[in-house]
Amino acid sequence: MEEKKTSNFIHDIIDADLAEGRENEVHTRFPPEPNGYLHIGSAKAIYINHTAAKKYGGKFNLRYDDTNPVREDDEYVRAIEEDLMWLGAVPTGGIFYGSDYFDKCYEFAVKLIKEGKAFVCDLTPEEMSEYRGVPTSPGKESPYKNRSVEENLDLFERMKNGEFKDGERTLRAKIDMASPNMNMRDPVIYRIKHAEHHRQGNKWCIYPMYDFAHPIQDALEGITHSLCSIEFANHRPLYDWVIENVGFEHDPHQYEFARLNMTYTVMSKRYLRKLVETKTVDGWDDPRMPTLSGLRRRGYTPSAIFDFIERSGVARSEAMADLNLLEYCICEELNESAERRVCVLDPLLVEITNYPEDKVEYFELSNHPKKPELGTRKLPFTKNVYIERSDFMEEPIPGFQRLKPEGEVRLMGAYIVKCNSVVKDSDGNVVKLLCTADLVTGNGKREEGPKVKGTIHWLSKEHALDREVRIYNNIFNKENVATLLEDENFEEFLNPDSLEIMANAKIEESLKDARVGEKFQFVRMGYFTLDSKCENVFNRTVALKTGFKPAK
């Protein structure tokens, strides 16, 4: 990750903390729950925490929030670390697991019970919800709130020992049932879950709630600035309550930023998991997914993703980021860095009738028009070539400047050709064009005759390689789908054309040795990269033009 020179409101807070002596260093963390793959919204949290630590010469931790054993898996643990390393967000402060603090969390929970600040509650989840009330009126005290310290200690230990069923009892903090902040109305800090943990096995059947475990983990790791998304703003008083009442000398503080939402997709793991489980996509790393592994497989780069996040802004107020801006960022980068190659996605055969049968000549094409230092390559030309089917119209529309009956067009870097006749199959489909070449125009000049406006790309039939090319589009068909999506209408918003497979595409020979991770501009077609999972498949990263218009 490149060091950023920009600043934001979080850096202003850090500047003030350092200037006033509230902190002497900066230590941040990224605490993902290993119950799914990271997405581009996660990248914003990584970007904010990592760049803050780097800017101030501090430390950055990766801490897995594995306090809920039900959906956690080692697959997600590995994927998260791989994504961080790919982004360049190396956890300089170390890699930790929330589950490694279970003994300390239990110890602190016992401490709260002994001090009369926590109690074991027998209310069912439904009863507890009813007792909590609504923000505009006080809730009701649990009938179990006044149990003695001795009874609470006994019940809590029996909870730990597995004597009770899931949901039968909880441990709750004693705070304020009249608080307008619902998170402070005697929140649950421990629940019973008889489930095997991916690291702890069956050692525990009680697990701390995130709001209890997270501030403890921050304090134990020496985190100074606990930076999280805005939905945790109402949880901050509980964060502070835990820090104060557990009794830490080190006093971390929580600050919130607006999470990243983006048009035509969702950041909810619930719905991303549904896409995977319903096989709407071929996995968490499907290139249509907003996951980092999906974006990587599609050909996006860490620098383009961070550029998008920075341009979208780091602020407190929620906003919807434009997918077109993300596409613009990768387009801008690849336009500068990607070498040019030729690919014919939907081939139509052209026979040059006046060209010798066995002749092969080579035309030199630039690898990058703006970077002569990248050199050139030679493209073979023969009697039979492929062009894009869309570059020919038998009945051209007004303004069409490509190939048409009795019309001429320049084959890129080679000859001007004229379409003399059209060959069709028994169903009336065009299968071949018979053309003649102006054989004195191979040097790019035409001394006599009409001026040719159109230029199209091509490949020699005898030298082209067969490949599959996949064109990815939005997986959802509504711009603001995140606000509309529910389980009942999930399929209604799926885009049936989110994947187009060009099974008979042709590529130039120089792409034979392309490696995973390399990016190319297929001239006139967009930016492409070799798929990391499917052999001999190229994925389109983005089209040449996007719908985003930068401010002038």
**What DSSP string describes 314-334?**
--SS--EE-HHHHHHHHHHHH
- What residue type is assigned to position 427 of the chain? D
CATH superfamily assigned to domain 269-340+467-542:
Ribosomal Protein L25; Chain P (2.40.240.10)
Establish whether domains 9-259 and 269-340+467-542 are of one fold. no
Structure letter (DSSP) for residue 197: B
3-state helix, strand, coil in the chain (%, to 5): 30, 25, 45
Cα gap 337→354, rounded to integer Å: 39
CATH superfamily assigned to domain 343-457:
Ribosomal Protein L25; Chain P (2.40.240.10)
Q: Which residues are catalytic, by number?
A: 33, 259, 269
Structure letter (DSSP) for residue 533: S
- For residue 287, how many C-alpha atoms fall within 13 Å in the half-sphere facing its CB? 26
Q: Where are the chain's structural domains?
A: 9-259, 269-340+467-542, 343-457
Do residues 422 and 354 make contact, with C-beta atoms less than 8 angstroms apart? no
Please report where in the chains the tokens 């963390």 appear, as a residue: 29
Do residues 329 and 542 make contact, with C-beta atoms less than 8 angstroms apart? no
- Extract the tokens encoding 158: 């029996």
In a structure prediction context, what are the per-residue pLDDT tens digits for the chain, which is 552 residues long?
444 557 899 999 999 999 999 999 999 999 999 999 999 999 999 999 999 999 999 999 999 999 999 888 899 999 999 999 999 999 999 999 999 999 999 999 999 999 999 999 999 999 999 999 999 999 999 999 999 999 999 999 999 999 999 999 999 999 999 999 999 999 999 999 999 999 999 999 999 999 999 999 999 999 999 999 999 999 999 999 999 999 998 789 999 999 999 999 999 999 999 999 999 999 999 999 999 999 999 999 999 999 999 999 999 988 899 999 999 999 999 999 999 999 999 999 999 999 999 999 999 999 999 999 999 999 999 999 999 999 999 999 999 999 999 999 999 999 999 999 999 999 999 999 999 999 999 877 777 778 898 999 999 999 999 999 999 999 999 999 998 988 889 899 999 999 999 999 999 999 999 999 999 999 999 999 999 999 999 999 999 998 888 776
Q: What predicted TM-score, i.e. pTM, was given to this entire model? A: 0.93
Asked if CATH classification 3.40.50.620 holds for the domain at 9-259, the reply, yes or no, is: yes
- Extract the tokens encoding 197: 């943990």
Element of type H or E holding 214: helix 210-221
Name every residue whose Cβ is closer than 8 Å to that of residue 420 and which is 6 or more positions away in sequence.
353, 406, 434, 435, 436
3-class SS at 532? coil
Measure Cα distances from 35 to 173, 205, 208 in Å: 27, 19, 17
Cα gap 247→259, rounded to integer Å: 31
Measure Cα distances from 182 to 109, 258, 408 in Å: 21, 21, 73
